[in-house]
Structure 1
Amino acid sequence: MQADLAAVEEAAKDLYIRALKILPPDIKAGIDRLAADETSAVARGVLETMRTNIRVAEDQENLLCQDTGIPIYNVAIGRGVQVDGHALKQAIRKGCERATREHPLRSSVVHPLTRRNNHTSCGFDVPVIHIDFDEAPERLSIEMIPKGSGSENNSFLKMAVPAEGIDAIKAFVVDCVIAAGGKTCPPTIVGVGVGGTSDLCVALAKRAATRPLGTRCQDPEGAELERVLSAAVNQLGVGPQGLGGDGTAFAVHIELAHTHITMNPVAVNMQCHSARRARAVLTPQGIEYGF
């Protein structure tokens, strides 16, 4: 299969728009679940406002949130797919820019020093494009995640001491959720990266934060820690939008990597209640959109 770069560009454009307007079903179900279990009247009211916002956005084809985020594209190239890597990135970049220019989207991307906004959602190394490979044949998958600043500004890394063990990880995650409070627009997905190097650990936390609800860490020890930390975080009382309540987080997600014998890095990256993402799969038969 020869990758159709025009189709890639179109998909990159459409995915940005879809992600900003349509919340994935697992996130909507997560809000419903928290609302059903919530004991605080104030928190239930906040969650109902969130549900109303979702309905209005979908009915009016409007944005779920005014923050269009930093655009992130995760690309998986299947077996037998032929593609020019540089041209692939350029097609995604052009699609991202077209989405911003052709639709009423606020560009949130600025130069880090001058703060100049070119109103394209593009810049140095933005959109963020990650390319990986997939064993599935004859398919190219693109996932688009607009990452808002409220959750992204509350990102943390600690190079813990190995002798402190799992207790250091637990304490760090709980402390980060407390420190973030309502600034992450909870309920959140708390993404935790454990292991690797400092940069890999942070990347793992982002991957964990943007996983669909209901997925589990592939490592059994990691999955058990997810369960323990999810319960711990939801005992903090931060609640929806930081106004108190039972539902501080949809879940704690963990991704692991082996690390050095003298290191125990742990990172936290959170995703807000409007956990937006969209996916397209390109095959010889065409493009299929989903989440």
Structure 2
Amino acid sequence: MKEIPVRELTQVVKELCMESNYNLREDVLLALKDSLEIESSKIGRAIIEQIIKNAEIARLEELPICQDCGVVNVLLEIGQDVFFVGGSIKEAVNEGVRKGYSEGFLRKSMVDDPCFDRKNTGDNSPAMILMSMVPGDSVKVIVMPKGGGSENVGVIKMLLPGDGPKGVKKTVLEAVKNANASSCPPIVVGVGIGGTFDSVGLLAKKALLRNINERNKDERYANLEISLLEEINNLGIGPGGLGGKVTALSVNIETRPCHMACLPVAVNFGCCALRSAEKVL
């Protein structure tokens, strides 16, 4: 059994909060640079160039890529042979968020009550924490800040089994059309299919963590990703919603089994500042 002091988890979460907000993911940055060869719109190209320049300045100066430093999603893949000592895992994660957002001069966006008081917690806690048990004696810590703009346009629909792939495509395309410029394109579209009402949204969000150059391992879903990407880019929304060929950089689909009477579908958007960072303890 491997023991890990919770203070180490706090330190890692703190570092990842800052790293993810300062450094645009390499796969996203490269895709943006490649998209300049595709985008024919003069305005669209200018927007993409500004996004790239902004990301480079943020990395160099250790400044937030975006003014919305987001709610912190923390995914912990905990080896079954690991034992945390010295305190609460949940409190250790939230302390890491507090330190990261304070020491990293990151904007705090969390409010304590969702409907009535809406008072800012002042330290960007609590984080949205997901823990899963995996084989081994290590812990993978993934931090994913998620801004309000890309979250507000997310969609969950409970389709019927007969709706099939056509129903999934219709749901995704309608979500992108309705989001338009609000999702801050060029976007990455995370799609969850299957599970239940409460799990399919998380599935769509986890799809955004996959490298955007990797297709789904199931050829059927890989082809659906490619087809959706083509149709989304044919919508003409373009960078910044001002028209063009590059509305999305990728469509990532993740699936899981579901009830025979259900076909849950969720769409979660990753804006042009799609952020995540990870480390193994």
State the TM-score, normalizing by the size of structure 1: 0.92
Corresponding residue for residue 222 of structure 2: 223
Q: 1:121 aligns with which of 119, 124, 128?
A: 124
Shift of 1:4: 2.4
Shift of 1:213: 1.3
- Measured in 1, the distance between the counterparts of 2:86 and 2:147 equals 27
Shift of 1:86: 6.8
Matched to 1:63, the amino acid is P
Corresponding residue for residue 110 of structure 1: 111
- Measured in 1, the distance between the counterparts of 2:75 and 2:133 equals 11
- Output the aligned Cα RMSD: 1.5
Corresponding residue for residue 133 of structure 1: 133
- Measured in 2, the distance between the counterparts of 1:259 and 1:198 equals 10
Matched to 1:149, the amino acid is G
Shift of 1:85: 10
- Measured in 1, the distance between the counterparts of 2:259 and 2:183 equals 31
Q: Which runs of 5+ in 1 are unaligned?
A: 283-291
1:15 aligns with 2:47: no
Shift of 1:275: 0.6
Corresponding residue for residue 180 of structure 1: 179
CA contact (8 A) 2:6 2:87 kept: no
Q: State the percentage of identical aligned residues.
A: 33
Shift of 1:23: 1.1
Corresponding residue for residue 164 of structure 2: 165
What do residues 200-227 of structure 1 show as CA deviations (whole Å, max 9, x unaligned)?
1111111112322112223332222111
- Measured in 2, the distance between the counterparts of 1:143 and 1:134 equals 14
Corresponding residue for residue 145 of structure 2: 146
**Worse-matched range after superposition: 113-122 or 95-104:** 95-104
Corresponding residue for residue 280 of structure 1: 279
SS at match of 2:102: helix
CA contact (8 A) 2:5 2:86 kept: no
CA contact (8 A) 1:71 1:128 kept: yes
What do residues 135-162 of structure 1 show as CA deviations (whole Å, max 9, x unaligned)?
3x33211010000111000011111122
Matched to 1:264, the amino acid is L
Q: Which runs of 5+ in 2 are unaligned?
A: none
1:3 aligns with 2:7: no
Shift of 1:261: 1.7
Correspondence 1:1-291 to 2 at 5 A:
1-83=2-84, 87-111=88-112, 112=114, 113-122=116-125, 126-135=126-135, 137-282=136-281
Matched to 2:148, the amino acid is S
- Measured in 1, the distance between the counterparts of 2:164 and 2:275 equals 33
Matched to 1:55, the amino acid is E
Q: Report the number of matched residues.
A: 278
> Are the structure 2 counterparts of residues 81 and 241 from structure 1 closer, same or farther at C-alpha, using a change threshold of 3 Å?
same
SS at match of 2:275: coil
**Worse-matched range after superposition: 178-187 or 201-210:** 201-210
CA contact (8 A) 1:100 1:120 kept: yes
SS at match of 1:232: helix
CA contact (8 A) 1:100 1:119 kept: no
- Measured in 2, the distance between the counterparts of 1:268 and 1:217 equals 16
Shift of 1:79: 4.3
State the TM-score, normalizing by the size of structure 2: 0.95
What do residues 178-204 of structure 1 show as CA deviations (whole Å, max 9, x unaligned)?
000010101111111111111111111
**Worse-matched range after superposition: 203-212 or 76-85:** 76-85
CA contact (8 A) 1:106 1:119 kept: no
- Measured in 1, the distance between the counterparts of 2:38 and 2:29 equals 15
Shift of 1:258: 1.4
Shift of 1:253: 0.7
Shift of 1:40: 0.9
Matched to 2:124, the amino acid is S
Instruction: Write out the 4+ residue segments of structure 1 that deviate beyond 6 Å after TM superposition.
Output: none
Shift of 1:94: 0.6
CA contact (8 A) 2:6 2:86 kept: no
> Are the structure 2 counterparts of residues 37 and 3 from structure 1 closer, same or farther at C-alpha, using a change threshold of 3 Å?
same
